[in-house]
Structure 1
């Protein structure tokens, strides 16, 4: 049973030139290999985003819903950022 499928794709000229350059440089053996590696990278990125959403965003949103009193106002965030920046600048001046 065949484990691959042939596709015909159309790329913008810049992308097609990049694919060909990767092959001609010897970095990849074929244009298909370049595309496969790009798709593997896309799959890994999508998995990382999914993991971040599940492990960080969802728990944070639940925490916000359960304890809205812990949220900072925009003014408080601004005040804290200003204080942190001032602290960093003071440290830098000491050096």
Structure 2
């Protein structure tokens, strides 16, 4: 059992190392905290190459406060991002 576990674990390590995600070519909003800016917004290893039409918004609170103390900022970012889309939706009768 231990040998099988080791083989499965090794296969997972190889699979993860070889995985190359494909870019998502649609408008995308990525909300992040100051602590994650460098990693998430890195021009090579971060999300910009994967989200060519992405909008990156930093909310000035710790991650644990995104949906409490930072909720108003998150909502403003979502609203600003969605406004152009909402303008294209026809009004209901």
Same structural fold, with TM-score higher than 0.5 when normalized by the shorter chain: no
Higher relative contact order (CA 8 A, sep 6+): 2
Query: Whose Rg is larger?
Result: 1
Q: Which protein has the bigger strand share?
A: 2
Q: Which protein has the bigger helix share?
A: 1
State the TM-score, normalized to the length of structure 2: 0.30
